[in-house]
Amino acid sequence: MESHVLLACLKTSDRGPSDSLERVQGHSRIREVRLSVTTSPTESRATRTLDQEITLIERVCAGEQQLFYELISPYERSVYVAVFSLLQNEADAEEVAQEAFLKAFSHLKAFRRESKFSTWLIQIAVNEARMKRRKDRKFLYESIDGRHQNEEGDYFPKDFADWREIPSETLQRTELRQALQRAIASLDPTYQDVFVMRDIQHLSITETAETLQITEALVKTRLLRARLRMRDALAPGFDGAWSIGDGHWKKVRPW
Amino acid sequence: MPTIEISCVEVWREVSNYIDEVVDPTLRERMQEHFKGCEHCSAVLDGMRNVVRLVGDGQAFEVPAGFSDRLKKRLEEKAGG
């Protein structure tokens, strides 16, 4: 089905300049920006302005499809990270990330500038990853297991380890990375979605709610639980296993 | 006028919103007061902030080698082909 959409898009663009390109050509200020879009994909992240990005989008829509990679290149990493955090599998994540970019390509004309292009991409990526996850039996078992189904009751922090500072050398450690990934993987899928969109991808509460089609209040509740669980999962590590020296981390456990 | 005291349970319920600065000013003030005197809640707050900081810079994840090249190739096959 996707390929049909993609083909439709390609055919439409083959017909010639779209309205958007005509608008660009009739606008001398943007035209100047167009000419200045000569940075390589790797440079574009640092130097690209919003105008340049919009111009790129319009050029791709108008038929210069080879520019699509340049357009999305600054967001490759964040799209992959979003998808990987939800699927926890490199091969699946790569495949789904590619699919998300292809989907963005075929639906580029539907992009409305009310949101940032990066946000739009992340929303597509998260939705693709969630679809993949739903197809995956492993997650089906998790969701019917009902461990964390009660969103009404309070969640109490399990651990009161004093976790004031993170030594910079600890941040570089592979085990910390792995622990973070394990902690995210251990979250219920519904909490993962919110946590990944808010804390890893920095989408707003409103954008997260829109993408997941839930209320903003539910975004906040799930985010609270996700963060508390993440903290519980990670704090003991900092408290013990990852501490730099003995007694570096003080334990504070009231019960 | 002294701020009205708030319980630990109430603080935990709002601690995430506190970090996101989406609590109203009165509640914020009450929570600030509570954190000053409650080391457990301060530890929860600091720990949660650390979680947000740790995952927020994206360094917890690595993109597989060759990802860009494979993506570029796949896009070229679709767009250019």
Mean pLDDT score of chain B: 89
pLDDT at B1: 58
Q: Are B72 and A96 in contact (CB under 8 A)?
A: no
- Are A227 and B16 inside 8 Å of each other by CB? yes
- Are B61 and A228 inside 8 Å of each other by CB? no
Residue B23 contacts A, CB cutoff 8 Å: no
SS3 A151: coil
CA-wise closest residue to A226 among A214, A237, A236, A234: A234
Share of residues in chain B with pLDDT > 90 (%):
64
Residue B38 contacts A, CB cutoff 8 Å: no
At A152, is the pLDDT very low, low, confident or very high (cuts 50, 70, 90)? low
Instruction: Give the closest-approach CA distance of A191 to chain B in angstroms.
Output: 13
User: Which of A4-18, A208-222, A226-240, B65-79 shows the lowest per-residue confidence on average (mean pLDDT)?
Assistant: A4-18
Helical pair B8-19 and A216-239, crossing angle rounded to 10 deg: 100
Give residue limits of the domains in chain B: 8-79
Q: Are A177 and A71 in contact (CB under 8 A)?
A: no
Is the pLDDT score of A5 beyond 80?
no
Is the pLDDT score of A138 beyond 70?
no
ipTM: 0.92
Mean pLDDT of B25-52: 92
Residue A157 contacts B, CB cutoff 8 Å: yes
How many residues are listed for chain A in this entry? Answer: 255
Please give the residue that has the higher pLDDT: either A24 or A137.
Answer: A137
Mean pLDDT of A111-130: 93
Mean pLDDT of B2-27: 92
Q: What is the DSSP string of A29-66?
A: HHHHHHHH----HHHHHHH--HHHHHHHHHHHHTT-GG
At A220, is the pLDDT very low, low, confident or very high (cuts 50, 70, 90)? very high
Mean pLDDT of A224-247: 68
pLDDT at A32: 29
Give residue limits of the domains in chain A: 2-135, 168-239
Mean pLDDT score of chain A: 73
Is the pLDDT score of A238 beyond 60?
no
pLDDT at A161: 62
Q: What is the CATH number of domain A168-239?
A: 1.10.10.10
CA-wise closest residue to A221 among A181, A190, A196, A186: A190
pLDDT at A203: 96
Is the pLDDT score of A253 beyond 80?
no
- Are A199 and B55 inside 8 Å of each other by CB? yes
User: Which of A4-8, A172-176, B50-54, B59-63 shows the lowest per-residue confidence on average (mean pLDDT)?
Assistant: A4-8
- Are B17 and A220 inside 8 Å of each other by CB? yes
For A81-103, what is each residue's pLDDT tens digit? Answer: 999 999 999 999 999 999 999 99
At A11, is the pLDDT very low, low, confident or very high (cuts 50, 70, 90)? very low
Residue B76 contacts A, CB cutoff 8 Å: yes
pLDDT at A9: 32
Q: Which residue among B56, B62, B71 sits closest to A200, beta carbon to beta carbon?
A: B56
Residue B54 contacts A, CB cutoff 8 Å: yes
Question: pTM for the complete prediction?
Answer: 0.74
Q: Which CATH number fits domain A2-135: 3.60.9.10, 1.10.1740.10, 1.10.3720.10, 3.50.50.60?
A: 1.10.1740.10
Residue of B nearest to A182 (CA): B60
Q: What residues of chain A lie within 8 A of the CB of B24, using their CB?
A: none
CA-wise closest residue to A147 among A229, A85, A82: A229
Q: What is the DSSP string of A226-255?
A: HHHHHHHHHHHHHHTTT-SSTTSS------
CA distance A23 to A195: 39
- CA atoms lying within 13 Å on the CB side of residue B13: 11
CA distance A82 to A129: 8
Residue B12 contacts A, CB cutoff 8 Å: yes
pLDDT at B47: 87
Please give the residue that has the higher pLDDT: either B10 or A239.
Answer: B10
CA distance A68 to B79: 8
User: Which of A44-48, A134-138, A238-242, B5-9 shows the lowest per-residue confidence on average (mean pLDDT)?
Assistant: A238-242
Alpha helices by DSSP H, chain A: 2-14, 19-25, 28-36, 41-47, 50-61, 68-72, 76-87, 90-106, 117-135, 137-145, 168-171, 174-186, 189-195, 205-212, 216-239
Residue A204 contacts B, CB cutoff 8 Å: no
Helical pair A205-212 and A117-135, crossing angle rounded to 10 deg: 40
For tokens 């929570």, what's the residue? B31
